[in-house]
Structure 1
Amino acid sequence: MKKIIIYFGDQTDKQAVVEQVLNQLNADYRVLQDHELGQRVGTLLGLDGFTKTPDTTNTHHSIDLMLFEEAADEDILQLNTLLQAAGTEMKRKAMLTEHNRNWRFHDLLTEIEREHTYFQMVDAIRTLLVQSSELIIEDYTPASWSAYEKAFYQAYDCINKECSLEEISTAYHALSDAKNSYSETNKI
């Protein structure tokens, strides 16, 4: 493993344990504070060609993130195992890329959170799609069942192509609303 940048966000209670594990691995790491989030990733990692820039923004993110300059899968697996054994975890991890090395760290945090939300929504849609086999058509009016079928196929199509977060969210809410559109009063 090369350098690691860690941001704890609102989860500073696990900092001591995470640092203990990283020290056990002789890892080269740096813990970021809110006032550093406006710096470019390359600057924070000390990469050639990057210099600290004056930044007056003081932002805060609630999420945690561990950013690796470079790490093998085995190294990350070992780190995860040791963190779990110590009773904690770092939920979000990222690797340095040619693309994100130029990003401000707070922009990387924002993108990681968007991706996390996106995949949570996709999982939620998959759950609703699986639950469709348990639905009873007779519990729906013809119109509400038709609306459900339409929402079902739109959600299915959405997770099978690269939809935006907004499209995924819309598909999820449409499917959830359509699934719940029956009631005792509108049974056939």
Structure 2
Amino acid sequence: MPAATRTTDTRRIVLDAAQRIMARKGYSAVGINEVLAEAGVPKGSFYHYFASKDAFGEAMLKSYFADYLTDMDGILARPDQSAAERLMAYWQQWRQTQSLEECQGRCLAVKLGAEVADLSEPMRLALKEGTSAVVDRIEQAITGGLEDGSLSVDGEAREVAEALYDMWLGASVMAKIHRSLAPLDTVTATTRRLLHL
């Protein structure tokens, strides 16, 4: 195996391990040694892959959003459903994955958003870029629904997309606080009303 491939693979293994651990514990509570032990990577090699813990955190968030957006694109591109059905399928997947106690790296925007935004400007910017890309896709889905007649909204598609994403993030936090899916059920019903479904 070429050295470049080994480096890429090892880097990805470290980032994936970090996502799993930090989804449970948060960013500040996790040390680099814990991540490297989970990944099975020698402790002394961290700085071969990342210049600093901030650079590592930024890379982890970018990797997380790249995977998240790929999954989201798959849901929103299903050819056998209307735009409204695809958008509701996305929210249903959110409910299933973001609300789990052990979300295995699938809820980093919820888990780390408030924590790292004040700790690291590069990480805040990675979160901003990633969440903006999510809102872009929600807006595109709403626009598609307006075009195919499967949904309607009061106001601009972008404003509704931003409001929906904000509501779902907040409901995910409340679901963790209450250890209940009720906030996600409430936001699902509110989403249906906002989209006139």
Same-fold call, TM cutoff 0.5: no
The structure having more radius of gyration, on CA atoms, is 1
Q: Which has the higher helix share?
A: 2
TM-score for the superposition, normalised by structure 1: 0.30
TM-score for the superposition, normalised by structure 2: 0.29
